[in-house]
Amino acid sequence: MTATEPVTQSNDSFLIAECGHTNTTVVLFDIVEGGYRLVARGSAPSTVDAPWHDMAVGVQHAITEIVAATGRPLLESNGTLIMPTREEDGAGVDYFALLVSCADPLKVIVAGLLDDVSLASARRALATIFAQEVDSFSLADTRSMQEQLSAIWRHQPHLIFVVGGTDGGAADRLRQMLKTLRLGIGLPEDKPRPDLLYAGNSALREAFNEALGELTDLHVADNVRPDLDTEQLLDAARQLGELYERHQIAGLPGVAELYHWSSFPVQTTPRALAMVMQYLAALYQGHLLAVDLGSDGVTFVSAQPESVQLAVHSDLGLGRPLQHLLDTLDADAILEWMPYPLNADALADFMVMKALRPGSLPFTEEDLHLEQAIARQILRHGFKQSALHWEWPQRAHLPPFKLLVLRGAVFTQAPKPVQALLMILDALQPVGIFPVVLDKYGALPALGAIAAQAPLVTVQSLEAGALAELGWVVAPVGRARLGQPVMQVLMQPRGGGSIQMEVEYGSIEVLPLAPGQEAQVKLQPARRFDIGYGPGKGRTLTIQGGAVGLVIDARGRPVHLPSEDEPRRELLRRWLWELGG
């Protein structure tokens, strides 16, 4: 079977490994009572770094957890995966897939003409992989040719990504840039030469090939801006993914054995997440958002039935990026989310230790609140950057989403589910009416990895409840004085009983509703408040409960915190207390 052929899925089983820099997760999908289900999950510390330097070892450790939980042999005595499933004893699996998020970012120099046109498109394409833009050349660059050459030699990028010029447009400035790039790549001869990806004016493809074809590996993609009003990133993004795999993934220690096991193309976690989110957007027929905060990066996926947008920030995360995070984020902006006093020195010390040991769990209550405060600011900053990449219209609040999906240990390992929910509400401050789910078992990217070849596994596993439901959120938009009525709420759970309350401005309330329990909810906002249907217009809907229930966030958008320290901390503590966090 080739890597792109669909599989039959008659009674096939699927094992998917996701290798991160801190943890390795393996999930098993198989037939249960006539349909595909998430059968088991195993997790182990990553072994890509010292002292192991072999990522396959971490996968084997995680697989042994599944073996212990299911009693199903999956590994030979030498550690090799048993494939396909043995008929005589049911040992092994039929298919294996590999996801990777532990490779270092691809170092890239972006070269083009206009910063707000072609270079902006190039950066949106780069945002689909783990990449580090180390420099950029454009018409606005006032450096001399010698200074630009020195930048190429100093940074030693893996890739130079060239864009610019509409098809059939002026070419003189790109030809001039080509001379600089030819010298920068060809000299000096004792240093590795970067690849070059050209996605600019198609009329210059031959000129780039003649000038650079013998000096380096030249790759040509569709022009990212064939005209000023058109942007096409798919081909460039695809080739960037292939270059990332070639330069950063293929050389990981131990990956060769996992390549040998794999039945499908190896993918990065963000790309697999984007694929499954687009399926969910088609299912929900609306705009969905996924947030994945890991140790080495944060990923945002904005998915609609007809399109998906991906933004990967490898300079943000709750692991190694913390070493330099205070160069990007203001310490005071982090500390304002602390319900207890803490100074900037203590924050810096915590971030250094967390960067050194990203897999460590908070040891004290103060550490827990600090980690969650850092997460809030990472998410807030990263999402603002993502919205700029996606060129969303500047507005006072986010567009409404039909579903909000959370991933990452800071969410899944929160002592109480409401803490995960409060983190995302504080960080992104979404509006409208929407459910929130948690990818508690690491199923989503795994299902995205095999969706193209085994769609039935993805469909049935999601329908069977592979995601953990946190609950529903109602976040009205409007302004009033603190304590003024915002909304009347009547919740009538199926089976009897009802809860009726008046929600006041500045408050956040939770109405408990157990997982799987249905309730009819009648919402009637005050005339100046909008829950997504116009000011003052109410709605009656049926919802299902979750680990938290129904949350009414009437704190306003944006959420305003008191400027004085103690009143602000008292308010944060009150919100935690009222939500049971």
The domain limits of the chain are: 14-102+254-261, 106-247, 270-579
Which residues touch 456 (CB under 8 Å, ≥6 apart)? Answer: 9, 36
Q: First CA to last CA across the chain, in angstroms?
A: 50
pLDDT of 581: 65
Q: Mean pLDDT, to the nearest integer, of 249-277?
A: 94
Residue 3 has pLDDT above 60, yes or no: no
| Averaged pLDDT for residues 25-39 | 95
What pLDDT digit, counting tens, does each position of 444-460 carry?
Answer: 999 999 998 999 999 99
pLDDT level of residue 8 (50, 70, 90 thresholds): low
pTM over 0.75: yes
pLDDT category at 5 given cuts 50, 70, 90 is low
Cα separations in angstroms, 351 against 11, 282, 297, 299:
48, 40, 15, 20
- Percent of all residues in the chain with a pLDDT value above 70, rounded to a whole number: 98
In CATH, what number does 14-102+254-261 get? 3.30.420
Residue 49, classified by CB atoms within 10 Å of its CB into exposed (0-12), middle (13-18) or buried (19+), is: middle
Per-residue pLDDT of 189-238, as tens digits, reads: 778 899 999 999 999 999 999 999 899 999 999 999 999 889 999 999 99
Residue 323 neighbours by CB distance under 10 Å = 13
Q: Give me the chain's average pLDDT, please.
A: 93
19-39 core/surface letters (b: 16 or more CB in 10 A; e: else):
bbbbbbbbbbbbbeeeebbbb
CB 297 within 8 A of CB 410: no
The reported pLDDT for the residue numbered 7 is: 64
How many C-beta atoms surround the C-beta of residue 254 within 10 A? 19
Maximum distance among all alpha carbons in the chain?
79
Q: Is 106-247 in the same CATH topology as 14-102+254-261?
A: no
Residue 288's DSSP bridge partners are: 303, 403
- DSSP for 194-216? PEEEEEE-GGGHHHHHHHHTTTS
Burial of 188 (0-12, 13-18, 19+ CB in 10 A): exposed
Q: Tell me the two tokens of residue 146.
A: 């010698």
State the burial class of residue 331 (Cβ atoms within 10 Å of its Cβ: 0-12, 13-18, 19+). middle
Spatial distance between the Cα atoms of 161 and 219, rounded to a whole number of angstroms:
10
Band (pLDDT 50/70/90 cuts) for residue 348 is: very high
Mean pLDDT in residue range 355-378: 93
- Checking if the pLDDT of 9 tops 80, the result is no
Check whether 396 has a pLDDT greater than 80. no
Confidence category of residue 187, pLDDT binned at 50, 70, 90:
confident
What number is the average pLDDT over the span 153-173? 91
| pLDDT value of residue 231 | 93
Q: Assign 1 a pLDDT band (cuts: 50, 70, 90).
A: very low
Q: Rounded mean pLDDT of 264-289?
A: 94
Q: How far apart are CA 80 and CA 57, in angstroms?
A: 11
The residues near 581 (Cβ < 8 Å, ≥ 6 apart) are: 416, 418, 419, 422, 575
Nearest one of 179, 127, 142 to 391, comparing CA atoms: 127
Report the DSSP pairing between strands 23-32 and 403-407. unpaired
> Cα–Cα distance between 81 and 60 in angstroms, integer?
9
For residues 376-395, one letter each, b for 16 or more C-beta atoms within 10 angstroms of the residue's C-beta and e for the rest, the string is bbbbbbbbebbbebeeeeee
What is the per-residue pLDDT for 397?
76
Tens of pLDDT, residue by residue over 489-525, are 999 999 888 999 999 999 999 999 999 899 999 999 9
Q: What is the pLDDT of residue 189?
A: 76
At 95-151, the pLDDT tens digits run 999 999 999 999 999 999 999 899 999 999 999 999 999 999 999 999 999 999 999
Reported as a pLDDT band with limits 50, 70 and 90, residue 316 is very high
Percent of the chain with pLDDT over 90: 85
CATH architecture of 106-247: 3-Layer(aba) Sandwich (3.40)
pLDDT of amino acid 391 = 83
